[in-house]
Structure 1
Amino acid sequence: MIKIMLIAGARPNFMKIAPIARAFDSRADDIAYKIVHTGQHYDTNMSDVFFEELGIRKPDYHLGAGGGSHSQQTAKIMVEFEAVCEQDRPDLVMVVGDVNSTLACSVVAKKMHINVAHVEAGLRSFDLNMPEEINRMVTDAVSDLFFVTEEQGMANLKKEGKPEACIHFVGHVMIDNLFYQLSQLEKMNSADLKYNDYKSGHSEYGVVTLHRPSNVDDKTTLIRIFNTLDQISKRLPLIFPIHPRTQKNMEAFGITPPDTITLTPPLSYMAFLNLWKDAKLALTDSGGLQEETTALGIPCLTIRENTERPITITQGTNELVGASEKKIFDAFEKIMAGNWRTGQKPDLWDGRAAERITDILLAHS
């Protein structure tokens, strides 16, 4: 019996650990696991219903880290997680993604001589201005097992000198979760989901998400992006679940979007999935949405200069457009004209990544 702690800090982390937890449940004779919620993102929507939607139990530990600067938040998580590990010493700590919780818990575990497995290992944007890039690099520097979503991640880890025997190309648990949630959505009455009336009231529409500091903290950049969205929305209505950081800066910068851009509060996973899965396009600076749109073949314009997920460009339906009005609008014109590439689903993005991870963990135990 192997004892594992699954770490999640931000909402996307829970989407990633959900299929792993379900796979572990299917091997309960071999794996005992506990879920640790660091509290990095505290969301009142994370109620019992949230975890029921994901098909997992509530967290066994909640560290209550809360907000603060990167250093403050990381330090809080490290102190609280160390106490959890001392109390209930696992054989393995499994971290996902690239948030502060990922870095903090992997470093604590390694210093306590507990093995670390990193899911989504090897992704690199090569942009050290991104806090997530530092988190990815540090986590991979101390991990013992590397579970990789795309072949470029394999190449990055080998170039960094990681042992090949510890690197495993397994597919993507985020896509496992996407397929699971789509199957759950089919069983639901979508009319009960927030903003389903928006969807039913528009034959075509686009979705927008923006939260990265490089886009939303600079007044000139954010105004330029909204000017571009304004022009797009004259031909294609846009719905924009707005991040609190983006909302705050919009108000500070005096940005008032037109009626053709519908702003909503942050949406639950299922409500947002119900919207974007049938959208004409997505405009985003999110890593996860780049991948999910590729999995479903939906055109995606990524408002960034780089991406740690290159397979979404080389094989998928994603394109980097930065914050350039011309690049965004030229790409939009191609999509509206029906000239966008159809893309293909990347290798092993088949909904079985968590099963592969579980098999490998048991083989290593």
Structure 2
Amino acid sequence: MPSTLTRAISPPPRQTKRRKQSETAHATRQRQNDANHPLSTPPEHTLAAVEAGRVRIEGHLEYFKERLSKVCRPVEEGVPNISIEDWARLYKGCEYECGNHFVVHQHNHPVSGVHYDLRLQFSETSSMSFAVPKGLPGNPNSKSLGRMAIETRVHNLWNHLIESASTRTGSLLIWDTGKYTVLPRKKSSNRPPSLQTTDEDSNTDLEDQSSREDEARNENERLIDAFKARYIRLRLNGARLPKDYTITLRLPSAKNVSKPRPAKRKRPRKPKAKNAPQSTDSEPEDTDKGAELPPEDAQDIDTDSSEDAHIRLTNAYPGSTNSIGSVHQRAWFILLDRASSGFVQDSETGKWVSREGSGFEPFLVLGRDVERSVVTGRLAREVEGDEGVEGFVGRGGWVGITR
């Protein structure tokens, strides 16, 4: 029998010299191509792909700084704005274990519609997140003082840098950004706390609980403790929000655990009746009714429909760590802390007015067609255009609180 027919079947024969030479040449060409095009996010990859984790990069700050600096728009005088350099410096100063960075994103989502995401850094890598359907309160005399805040997934800190758009997720722009301060919780010195609410800001006899030990702690440590106590008194020092702007976030005890998510069902869209009740996210603080959304709306706030089982189990996106016990879809309640924001109640009219040298002009949250990014100066539709998103139509029906 010829020797060519008697070789073993396993292991397979060695590669021929010709094939080796061919593969060596291919590898050489590949190395030359890599040298000409250094490993980085390819230009065809969008910011939305980076946000979704489909593209992994190193150096998020440098990447987003370069991308956003190319799309900045000139802004008129008086429009809130922070320069790219100051924005990068602000973030860089918080890239450590005890950082206290915050961001408020305006999100124009195709399913849940316009809402605002408040994200608060609590560690070197991670941030707690709240979806605020109507945005932050800005009028101390509003008839709708309260706001709903839905606890969402723990995010990566670098998500604070994102401005992006896609047909699947809509547009995301930076509404405000800066550093936060956690203030001590107030207590009444002359009477026991109310069973309904322990923190009504109209009380003039309230005094801060503070200690030297507490003053020496880092802001993120205070945030974690306040979060676990289900009551956060938060001052946001940003580019858009006025000086000394302070809110409280409170988790009613009945909402301490998340409810099972209802099965998704199709329902015909019907026009709202003229006498339909207002959204409960704007009820005053002395009721817990404002801490719950209808099941369908609560489901709409969850804007990530492609998350895997591990994300649902940990309530944290890959790269972040849920070390604080964040629970998905818990309904918190936001209220403007008027006294801490620089207002006093007029004894004659009962209205809240600015204290001398403090307070601010009331502001409204007006949505995607009006508000520009404090970093790039863009509207939502301009973010979509810069990212090549064509024909996107956001969900209608969003109305801000204007009274």
Alignment TM class, shorter chain as reference: under 0.3
Structure 2 length normalisation: TM-score? 0.23
Question: Which has the larger strand fraction?
Answer: 2
Q: Which has the higher contact order (CA 8 A, sep 6+)?
A: 2
TM-score normalised by structure 1 residue count: 0.25
**Which has the higher Rg, Structure 1 or Structure 2?**
2
Which structure shows the bigger proportion of residues in helix conformation?
A: 1
